Structure 1
Amino acid sequence: MQSFTFGIYPGSAVGIPASEGGLAIGSPDIAARICEALDDLQPQGKSFVVRAYVQYIGKGQSVWPTPENARQYVSDTRKLDFVLCYRAIDDPLENWIRYIQETVQQYGSDLISLQITEEPNSKEAGGDAISPDVRPALIAGVLAAKEEIRRLGLSIRVGFSTTIIFDSNDDFWPEIGRLGGSAFVAALDYVALDFFPDVFVPLPPNVVLSDGVRGVLHQFRYVNMAQAAIPFSVPIFIGENGWPTSPTRPYERQSQMLEAIMRAVYEHRETFNIRGYTYFNLRDTNSTNPDIFYQFGLLRDDYSPKPAYAAFKKLVAELSL
């Protein structure tokens, strides 16, 4: 049986539509409280993943690292899943490639995975498709990261993430296949799926959640990835999944949704070659703001737990392989 690892994005900043500023930021993260939560959530003797983000804006520069100083959360059994978002425009790819090489050199063995771009198929909140150059940047970035990792003799997975695509006219996956070819596919260690059932599009009342999750996973593996000729041997990771609270979205429902989705993903891990799951996110951006973008956390903004925190901890302990 293949290994299956869990993780979490431990920050509180959340991507929002560019028209609203691009990033929702609340009270500063408290590193000691994050460490306390990570130590509590990680089962003894099992590995755990910390997800972190930075936005590349061109000319070798990046902004908005979240959580700040993510390396402080690393241990021998807790490594970084580091996401290099691509938000540059009209920037030579040589700058991007050099930035990736320097990132690999800087973080080295603290990384378990390096994700090149964030949702390059999506222009919605947090998606890198707002950059017109993101597709060639994705291809060049994956190839550059893999080459640098091999040169340094490191063991770091290289991949990228997308959201699910049901539109048969969408050209993202076919073009990625054409642009990248066999060299790109050979460099991939995983593809991550970011999905949020019953968040941005409410589930129809007649849909059973576990069936809906299976349908999304089937579409992703056998339709989306297949359009780029990415084989079954390249594993899927759930890069982001969450269910926010609000005045109309109760805490108990968050806990129920989290458990149902995690168990459905885990149940189908062999069917679709899924190797891990990361929850988004640890702490609310602002627990008094009714906008759902501000309440994805397992903890309130003061670090007090919602019921979903205990549910997540229990499931991670039960299902970690």
Structure 2
Amino acid sequence: MKPLPHDPFTFGIYPGGMSGTDSGLTTGPTDSSQAIEHALRILQGDAPSFLVRAYIPYKSRQGAVYSTPSQPEQYANDNRLLDVVLCFQSDEEDMTGWKAFIRDTIRTYGKRLAKLQVTEEANANLPSLDGYFKHSRKALVEGIVVAKEEIRALCLRTVVGFNATPDFNPKKTFWLEIASLASPAFYDALDYVGLDFFPDVFRPIAGDDLEGPITGLVTMFRADIGQAGIRATIPLHITENGWPTGIDRTEQRQAEQLEKIIRILYRHRKIFHITHYELFALRDADSNVQDLFYRFGILRDDYSPKPAFEMYRKIIAEFTRL
């Protein structure tokens, strides 16, 4: 793949405590907005831009039930903007309520909204993720179009996209379904595709060589995007990446693995046209639970730092100085 022009590399993080598991959502201590704001300031440092990722699920025409983190707009300022993920978790086939929800969200956040992600992992068939819901692919395609219409109507600079997890299904059913549903308006509206991936977490990697597995996976993902008829030049955003701590997963190892992954992605950013990287997550859902889904944070649940917090701060400073 030929190197492509790219925008400045942008970093971000999901700052909430709640996360999805194989069976539902985590529980744990309530988010502290003061502690989150303090941590975000330290991480961003002098970087000219930084993203705060937030998730808002749509479950019915009643609209948003909650967001995580709560009231994400409180963390936005002139050079720290929002990446809002609208999750489609409904059995509705009629998209009227979903489209109204998208338009309302864009109006609510306005200029604070740098990115809008339509659906969350619509290819992942787990109860806490959108792929579990029958009409999520339709919601993805139609949602991208209506989001761009609203953004253009309001003269905003928000970019619109969707994300997916690595697809090891040789039939590539998800991507072919997107192609079958897509219209010219969808391809025109689409600004990026996001990749959620967790090397050496759910599929452990033997040894310390992460470069081959990571570049191979991103290469596969780029090919999958093409199966959906999406142009090869579309920017790729790393929308979720993390490495949890726990039994046999030390905090020092977390810092080492995450640094390796980020440096590999940054080194290959031109080849794969990667423009954004967002870490999952700022803090543990509950540091006392011996379950990897609860301990993705680079802070513990009391907001005390693990070594990975300082590592990420240094990486952001290093790569945004260049």
Same-fold call, TM cutoff 0.5: yes
Q: Counterpart in 2 of 1:281? A: 281
Shift of 1:125: 6.3
Q: Counterpart in 1 of 2:214? A: 213
Q: What SS class does the counterpart of residue 255 from structure 1 fall into?
A: helix
- Measured on the aligned residues, the alpha-carbon RMSD in Å equals 1.3
**Residues 71 and 80, structure 1, Cα contact 8 Å, conserved in 2:** yes
Deviations 1:37-74 (A, max 9, x none): 00000031510000000110011422231000100000
Q: What SS class does the counterpart of residue 61 from structure 1 fall into?
A: coil
Q: Counterpart in 1 of 2:118? A: 116
1:2 to 3, 7, 10: 7
Shift of 1:92: 1.8
Q: How many percent identity over aligned positions? A: 44
C-alpha separation between the residues in 1 aligned to 2:66 and 2:22? Answer: 15
Q: Structure 2 vs 1, CA of residues 125 and 242 (structure 1 numbering), >3 Å: closer, same or farther?
A: farther
Which aligned pairs between 1:164-313 and structure 2 lie closer than 5 A?
164-205=166-207, 208-221=209-222, 223-313=223-313
C-alpha separation between the residues in 2 aligned to 1:259 and 1:219? Answer: 22
C-alpha separation between the residues in 1 aligned to 2:310 and 2:286? Answer: 20
Deviations 1:206-243 (A, max 9, x none): x720111111111111x210101111221000000000
Q: What SS class does the counterpart of residue 319 from structure 1 fall into?
A: helix
Structure 2 letter corresponding to 1:175? E
C-alpha separation between the residues in 2 aligned to 1:142 and 1:236? Answer: 16
Deviations 1:146-168 (A, max 9, x none): 00000111110000010011322
**Residues 259 and 311, structure 1, Cα contact 8 Å, conserved in 2:** yes
Q: Counterpart in 2 of 1:78? A: 80
How many residue pairs get matched?
316
Show structure 1 runs of 4+ deviating over 6 A.
Answer: none
Q: What SS class does the counterpart of residue 3 from structure 1 fall into?
A: coil
Q: What SS class does the counterpart of residue 318 from structure 1 fall into?
A: helix
C-alpha separation between the residues in 1 aligned to 2:184 and 2:174? Answer: 17
Q: Counterpart in 2 of 1:97? A: 99
Which aligned pairs between 1:115-154 and structure 2 lie closer than 5 A?
115-124=117-126, 126-154=128-156
Deviations 1:21-50 (A, max 9, x none): x21121111101100000000031510000
Structure 1 residue 12 corresponds to structure 2 residue 17 = yes
C-alpha separation between the residues in 2 aligned to 1:60 and 1:30? Answer: 27
C-alpha separation between the residues in 1 aligned to 2:78 and 2:185? Answer: 32
**Residues 58 and 91, structure 1, Cα contact 8 Å, conserved in 2:** no
**Residues 93 and 137, structure 1, Cα contact 8 Å, conserved in 2:** yes
Q: Structure 2 vs 1, CA of residues 126 and 272 (structure 1 numbering), >3 Å: closer, same or farther?
A: farther
C-alpha separation between the residues in 1 aligned to 2:246 and 2:53? Answer: 24
TM-score normalised by L of structure 1: 0.96
C-alpha separation between the residues in 1 aligned to 2:22 and 2:281? Answer: 18
C-alpha separation between the residues in 1 aligned to 2:93 and 2:276? Answer: 33
Q: Counterpart in 2 of 1:69? A: 71
Deviations 1:125-176 (A, max 9, x none): 6421111010111111000000000011111000001001132213110110
Q: Counterpart in 1 of 2:3? A: none
Q: Structure 2 vs 1, CA of residues 193 and 45 (structure 1 numbering), >3 Å: closer, same or farther?
A: closer
**Residues 47 and 316, structure 2, Cα contact 8 Å, conserved in 1:** no
Shift of 1:179: 0.6
C-alpha separation between the residues in 2 aligned to 1:293 and 1:215? Answer: 25
Shift of 1:181: 3.1
C-alpha separation between the residues in 2 aligned to 1:54 and 1:288? Answer: 26
Q: What SS class does the counterpart of residue 252 from structure 2 fall into?
A: helix
**Residues 6 and 276, structure 1, Cα contact 8 Å, conserved in 2:** yes
